[in-house]
Copies of this chain bind each other. A is one copy, B any other.
Amino acid sequence: MKTMWLLLLWVALPAFAGEGKWTPQQVLELDPAWLKAQGLQLPPGRLWDAQRGTGLLAGAVNVGGCSGAFISSSGLVITNHHCVFSIIQEHSSPQRDLISQGFLATGREAELPGKGARILVPRAFTDVTKQVLAGVPAGADDLARFKAIERQQKELVAGCEKRPATRCQVSVFDGGSQYVLVDSVELADVRLVYAPPRAVGEFGGEEDNWMWPRHTGDFAIVRAYSAPDGSAAAYSETNVPHRAEFYFPLAPQGVQPGDFVMVLGYPGISFRALLAEEMAERQARFYPRVIDFYGEAIRILEQEGAKDAAGKIAVASTLKSLHNRAKNASGQLAGLARGRIIEKQQEHEAAVVRWAQARPEYAGALVSREELRESLKEEARTWEREFLLNNLRAGARGVSMAATLGQLARERAKPDMEREPEFMERELVRLKDQFEREQKNLFLPAEKRLLLAFVRRAQALGPAERIAAVDKHFGPTFSEKAVATKINALYATTKVLTLSERMAMFQASEAQLQARKDALLAFGLDLATELTALDAVKDRREGARRRLRPEWRRAVLAHAGKPVAPDANGTLRVTFAKVEGYSPRDGVFYTPQTTLSGVLAKHTDAEPFDVPDKVLATAREKRFGPWADAALKDVPVDFLSSADTTGGNSGSPTVNGKGELVGVNFDRVWENVANDFGYNPDVARNVNVDVRYVLWMLDQVENADGLLRELGVRKGPSMPGEKR
């Protein structure tokens, strides 16, 4: 029997230089001939029209912190399953378990509206650097500088959001080198159209998370609706499918190894503009402490969850998030070492320094760099204290909420524009929602042990790093028995963990909170005092950085002499890539595509590898329909590409050189986590669901004929409101 086999040729080829999360404007600054040679078949001007300030890239939208993409002119949006999980959960019940079964709307009227689901469509990007900096008074110190900038940002946002159904932000680029007002339409009527069973959407679960080979169908389809006049509107039966100007039609032919792709979306944060010493600080202190601190919380939640079935359910979501953070931290450390990222940054920095030393006009850059490095020493003195206070949320939820209630009561006493941004009116709906939802995560035995762990750490801090609230409520030295007794007393009487009481506290003034004589709340108010003081310290520090980093970056960019993509900041970006595998270690090569056969091979009939029956039957019978790949002779499931992504890119459309959707990004590989600090072409790989797996699920498994016709991959009528 002839079998399909791999012929391996070792050839000296450069890995594809996929580095750069480019802003829309930067796409027009890149060499169009290079883009064409890579595989872009559209003129760059189609991706972004500088005149109009929009273009095809705006077909990528923000779906509640994730990315997503219009895939039809009639408002269909594809994103990750995990990005719309709350909508699926909202409509699930023991009688109608959409989480396990998945969901396919049988027609427009059957689509399920998602409470609080929002899609942001970028409308305009305006450089407001001058306005923002103009607000800084001459001779302002660093704190005043920061406050002035923040005030300008707030006012620009407030002005921008006077338009209805609008959400705005002033985004900071390159450490303060540029400020951009991003004006987005907020589509608030979002309805679920299709979700696969969770066992497809989360196939592999925690075990496969960050890993390759991957066989996850992490996608779902929603539809945005707007008012009949086309304007964004809250949910209404009279709403109609949103007309999307830009969208990415599905490419039924999919991709092949070596193909050019673009990944568009809203990457959250990266750290490539940090100085090598700043990176080294994260390597030496931050990530190890995350692993240590989160690791302790994980152990506590696992131990307590193992004792109590209801407790296990309560802590599951927290555990998942802690695991994800801790695993990420390990990956950052491994990747920093493997990619020699800090060493490379040192070498690069040294080259910029030598270059700048020969150019008097960059003398300020060198001074600024020195001052940034100096400030690390200052921060080191209270670093452990800040880490504990910054990570309250990873500990006892009752304490974290009590502290937030204290801050909120004090901030609400101020005029809206003078509050800390996270307590401004425009944020309070979300915060309140979070305070409600927290209820299902609470589990008292875990709470108590987490607080005990926090107090033990706080009491072990040196004299310069005391947390006064802890000293006041628990004394200066740790005694397990005494602290545990105190904690038991706190939790025995507090009302913070009682939903109705907590929601009443959410509206209360500081005096009302005080009057409650709730000991946990009292501890929270004292913590709030310290958090507010710490905010001022951090604001001053950030003010200094906003003064110094732009100076240094000016030298870095001039030295580069070509476009350099700024660090991720949650704004729209595009990255150019190839479909390609990689070698995770000596003797192993990860091929860039996985298949249905691989799904079957992983099937164990138990979570997280429990393929749903209907998928199993269709796959085993090899009912591929037209979705098999000619070379693989199988339906492709996931593929790798060398795109430069990070958190926030979940749900990003992966499109080919013609602007057609070939996949949906949903993860990075383990070896590529430290990509946040530097791009290593050898291992920089993101993980995408193959569009042919999406189509195979809709077609062969779900028989979603109407949806397929609407998506233009099946001939036939697709009238609004028709039965699918």
Contact = CB atoms under 8 A, between A and B. Distances in A.
Interface string A448-470: 00000000000000000000000
Given A9-B7, A15-B3, A631-B10, A601 B588 contact: no
A231 interface: no
B7 A13 contact: yes
A561 B177 CA distance: 80
A598 interface: yes
A10 B7 CA distance: 6
Nearest to A596: B586
A215 B5 contact: no
Max count, chain B CB within 10 A of own CB: residue among A257, A583, A588, A595:
A588
Given A10-B631, A257-B8, A581-B8, A3 B587 contact: no
A3 B597 CA distance: 32
Interface string A581-593: 1010111111111
B11 A8 contact: no
Interface residues of A, number: 41
A634 to B, nearest CB: 9
A638 to B, nearest CB: 8
Interface string A1-21: 111111111111111000000
Contacts of A682: 3
A7 B258 CA distance: 9
Contacts of A598: 585-587
Given A10-B631, A11-B7, A13-B5, A590 B588 contact: yes
A670 interface: no
A659 interface: no
A595 B588 contact: no
Nearest to A5: B13
A5 B15 contact: yes
Nearest to A594: B587
A213 interface: yes
A580 to B, nearest CB: 8
Contacts of A592: 8
A671 to B, nearest CB: 12
A591 B581 contact: no
A681 interface: yes
A70 interface: no
Interface in A5-63: 5-15
Interface in A608-660: 631-632, 638
A177 B166 CA distance: 87
B586 A215 contact: yes
A213 B583 CA distance: 12
Contact of A8 (B213, B588, B591, B601): B591
A6 B586 contact: no
A214 interface: yes
Contact of A593 (B215, B257, B587): B587
Contacts of A1: 14
A212 interface: yes
A312 to B, nearest CB: 28
A107 to B, nearest CB: 37
B632 A10 contact: yes
A212 B587 contact: yes
A6 B594 contact: no
Contact of A591 (B213, B588, B595): B588
Nearest to A2: B14
Given A213-B588, A587-B593, A591-B587, A10 B14 contact: no
A4 B10 contact: yes
Contact of A213 (B3, B586, B590, B593): B586
A10 B682 CA distance: 21
A2 B593 CA distance: 24
Contacts of A11: 5-7
Contacts of A583: 6, 591
Contacts of A3: 14-15, 681-682
A587 B590 CA distance: 6
Contacts of A214: 587
Max count, chain B CB within 10 A of own CB: residue among A4, A212, A583:
A4
A595 B586 contact: yes
B9 A9 contact: yes
Contacts of A594: 586-587
A8 B638 CA distance: 17
B8 A8 contact: yes
Given A6-B581, A589-B589, 17 more contacts: A2-B14, A3-B682, A4-B10, A5-B11, A5-B14, A7-B9, A8-B257, A8-B581, A8-B591, A213-B585, A213-B588, A215-B586, A586-B597, A587-B591, A588-B588, A588-B589, A588-B591
24 contacts: A2-B14, A3-B15, A5-B12, A5-B13, A6-B9, A6-B589, A7-B9, A7-B10, A7-B11, A7-B13, A8-B8, A8-B257, A212-B587, A213-B586, A214-B587, A215-B586, A585-B601, A586-B595, A586-B597, A586-B598, A587-B591, A587-B598, A587-B638, A589-B590
10 closest A-B pairs by beta carbon, nearest first, are A213-B587, A586-B598, A587-B594, A5-B13, A10-B631, A589-B589, A7-B11, A2-B14, A7-B9, A586-B594
